[in-house]
Structure 1
Amino acid sequence: MAISLSKGQTISLNKVSDNLNHLHVGVGWDPAIPKGLIARLTGPKEIDLDASVITFDQKKEPTGIVYFGKLESPDGAIKHMGDNLTGDGDGDDEVIAVDLTRLDDTTETLVFFVNSYQGHTFEEVDNAYCRVTDADSGQEFCRYTLSDKGAHTGVVMAILSRNAGDWQIKAVGMPGVGRTADQLVPDALRHI
């Protein structure tokens, strides 16, 4: 059964499973239903959000980024599974796959974001979430639902960090100011 995380809550992957090495971090969202009669008649507009991940070493220095423009990390451990331009449909809109066994030994922290390169704000988004599944079984083991709205264009969704041989995931859900993943590095540093 999946754990519904609250903002700031952390869980250990070792407590979820002894052999959890292949993860899918999925994000999903829906375009908000517009307000006003004319807007409702035209329907919700397409919202293009982008999932991304930035890796950091032990000194909290950024070491890599995976996003729609760079779909794989140099070590092959992190792969972006494709860009959804609309937010339409059910389920995960974008997925990042992580193979913990292939991560570079210097990687200590992975920070997962969702942001809008086109400048859409989270006032225009409904039902945003981040969830983590076992990539081998498809079993969801945790989910964080974002309820905060605002004029920001990015959100630090979750942090996956190495802690004495154990990987832990923390729900963050804090606004960011960048429209691209590399612009969100300062936001990531505030939370690791």
Structure 2
Amino acid sequence: MPINLQKGQKVSLTKGNPGLSKVVVGVGWDVNQFDTGGAFDLDGAAFLVTENGKVSRGEDFVFYGNLTHPSGSVQHMGDNLTGEGEGDDEQIKVNLSAVPANIAKIVFTVTIYDAETRRQNFGQVSNAFIRIYNEDTGEEMLRYDLGEDFSIETAAVFGELYKNGNEWKFNAIGSGYQGGLAALCASFGVDVE
């Protein structure tokens, strides 16, 4: 049975699951019925950061424009342009055993594409969640529903996988940012062209 996390809660993925290596991180959302004059396009991404909280190179940012990390450890399964339907809207596969040794954590984010032009923000998004399941068995291990009422934010950090000794843990973060993807990239040390 999956663990339902609260904001700030941390849980070990591997302690009770020795040998676990392949997980899928699913993110999802629904769009409130506000007419903003444009479709919503939310984008999931992963930042593979070192101990200093920054990427060591541009390829450590996995998103719709760079679907697979050079190590093969993190793979984005593709961009969903509408967020319609039930279940995960986007998925990112993680092979924990293949994550490079210099990576301390993998931060999972969602941003609203072209939010300023389309006058959109997370206040118009509901039922946002992140969940992790075992790729081999399909068993959902944990889920975090972002119940927060974001208002003007255009980007959010949903959660992070991080190494603690030999264990992999998950931290439910749920923080919003203004400034969309550019603000997140700046925060994690990615040069934006």
The answer, yes or no, to whether TM exceeds 0.5 is yes
Query: Which residue number in structure 2 is paired with residue 9 of structure 1?
Result: 9
Unmatched 5+ residue regions in structure 2? Answer: none
Write out per-residue CA displacement over residues 142-173 of structure 1, whole angstroms, 9 at most, x where no aligned residue: 00101122110011100111011111100000
Q: Would you say 1:102 and 2:98 are equivalent positions?
A: yes
Contact 1:71-1:79 at 8 Å conserved across structures: yes
Opposite residue 59 of structure 1, the aligned amino acid is N
Q: What is the SS of the residue equivalent to 1:174? A: strand
Q: Would you say 1:78 and 2:79 are equivalent positions?
A: no
Q: CA deviation at 1:177?
A: 2.3
Distance 1:82 1:33 in 2: 25
Pick the aligned partner of 2:85 from 80, 89, 92: 89
Contact 2:132-2:141 at 8 Å conserved across structures: yes
Q: What is the SS of the residue equivalent to 1:112? A: strand
Aligned pairs for 1:136-155 (under 5 A) are: 136-148=136-148, 149-155=150-156
Q: CA deviation at 1:85?
A: 0.7
Opposite residue 28 of structure 2, the aligned amino acid is G
Contact 1:130-1:143 at 8 Å conserved across structures: yes
Identity of aligned residues (%): 35
Q: CA deviation at 1:187?
A: 5.0
Query: Which residue number in structure 2 is paired with residue 183 of structure 1?
Result: 183
Distance 2:166 2:18 in 1: 12
Query: Which residue number in structure 2 is paired with residue 170 of structure 1?
Result: 171
Count of aligned pairs: 181
Distance 1:178 1:66 in 2: 19
Query: Which residue number in structure 1 is paired with residue 52 of structure 2?
Result: 59
For structure 1, which segment, 75-84 or 53-62, has the greater mean C-alpha deviation from structure 2 after superposition?
Answer: 53-62
For structure 1, which segment, 58-67 or 25-34, has the greater mean C-alpha deviation from structure 2 after superposition?
Answer: 58-67
Q: CA deviation at 1:183?
A: 3.1
> TM-score normalised to the size of structure 1?
0.87
Q: 1:19 to 1:45 in 2, by over 3 A?
A: farther
Q: Would you say 1:159 and 2:152 are equivalent positions?
A: no
Query: Which residue number in structure 2 is paired with residue 27 of structure 1?
Result: 27
Write out per-residue CA displacement over residues 97-153 of structure 1, whole angstroms, 9 at most, x where no aligned residue: 000111111111111001112213111111110001111111111001011221100
Opposite residue 23 of structure 1, the aligned amino acid is V
Unmatched 5+ residue regions in structure 1? Answer: none
Opposite residue 61 of structure 1, the aligned amino acid is K
Q: What is the SS of the residue equivalent to 2:51? A: coil
Q: CA deviation at 1:179?
A: 2.2
Q: CA RMSD in A?
A: 2.0
Q: What is the SS of the residue equivalent to 2:97? A: coil
Opposite residue 114 of structure 1, the aligned amino acid is V
